Structure 1
Amino acid sequence: MSTPALLQAIGISKRFGGLQAVLDVDLSVMPGEVVGLIGPNGAGKTTLFNMLAGSMPPSAGRLWFGGEDCTGASAHHMAQRGMARTFQITSVFPALTVWDNVCAATHRHQRTDWLGAVWRSRAYRDEQTQMSERATHALQQAGLWHRRHDVGSELPYGEQRKLEIAIALATAPRLLLLDEPAAGMNPEEAGKLVLLIQQLRDQGMAVLLVEHHMRVVMGACDRVVVLSSGEKIAEGTPKEVVSNPEVVRVYLGRETVHA
């Protein structure tokens, strides 16, 4: 019996007035799979991401996450179900330390009420320990443990991107949506990002990423979906996609991509 998809979108479409931003896209992500979403600017990648994450409802189509029909569900609901997302523009709290940024994300798992906090009950103390351990692990995974006492605004842009990933990891997601995670990273940082994504996959986490950095796509992804003008034009392994004549024509052009 085959393993069901963790995320399954069928016939997803989005229209803004007379503009068809996304048209009849099928997309799936299996548990422990890394899927890349690529395409030229204006292809509909961010709109599709927003629909998958619950930031906007689709005009047509159905969406399932974790076996539940989540079509039109809110971003809060999707997060509660185990989906975490980063954005193209960094969204860290600039006045907080790196540690406090990540700890804030762990409160999605908090179960004790305010009375437990006031009286510092055993359940509250155990929960605080677990959240601290989760934040520590997320920072270590993202390679930011040595920066934990620094203020978010003091980090270079590339490390702010890594902090966003750590914040997402601290929520213990089943599916991680990464929107251009390599933006602002130098080649060494991008290489470490690939290793991190591979590590998350090996731990059973599913990842869906939008990325223009083709070396990251080639190194991290098991499968790649290509959008152009709101429609899916190709899907396959990274090597299959970069050798697809239509993908080369509309997106890659003369660029030479190496794994």
Structure 2
Amino acid sequence: MSSQKGTVLITGASRRLGLYNARRLLEAGYRVIATFRHHSSGIDELKQAGAVVLQSNLDETRSILNLIEQVKSITSDLRAIIHNASGWISDSDNPQDNEPLAHLFKLHMEAPWLINRSLYGLLKNYPETADIVHMTDYNALRGDEHYAAYAATKAGLESLTRSFARLYAPKVKVNAIAPYLIIMNDHDQLAAAENTLHIPPMGLEPGEDVIWQSLSYILHNPYVTGTTMPVDGGMSLR
């Protein structure tokens, strides 16, 4: 299987934003390698649409390294790597429990670190400019009193964005996208009804396409690297 537009590796593609963007990449003509932790109907859909799907636990070093070798065996070059895999885990009430931080560090920082460094050769083999895109979060630099480990590791990922952008220019552009609330869960809807959810100036729940538009912009603009693009409805104005 080949594609004129090249091969894109996207992590965490079993649901929500990852699944939506994997669909859109396929529709746009890219060859897609999609990773998932837990199987879903969305993964079956991607496979039927032509994606290569790989199960990987990106909070385990051995699984990350195995994924890297699998990707190397599938393709000789990469147009882009999109780090979408993420975990939303609150801090523990036990002050000596470091499990949330250890888990999220591996998922948000170690996995991108190892994948970017190990697959740089495939990005370099792509005949045109290649891309790395990190999905971070509005709270990465703002912090969160209940999700400090989450915010800290997403902030670390934003720092890696700038470091890898310096390291890999001009062959590979490295950018981040920092969303606020894109799709509401039930608890978000309840919080909105109770007026306990921060509402951005542009309103709530824009839908997945705003992330695809941002991703597409990054992939098609040859002069943007080392940036974090906020997609937060104006929350950064508050």
TM bracket (short chain): 0.3 to 0.5
Mark the structure with the bigger radius of gyration.
Answer: 1
- Larger strand proportion of the pair: 1
TM-score (ref. length: structure 1): 0.33
TM-score (ref. length: structure 2): 0.35
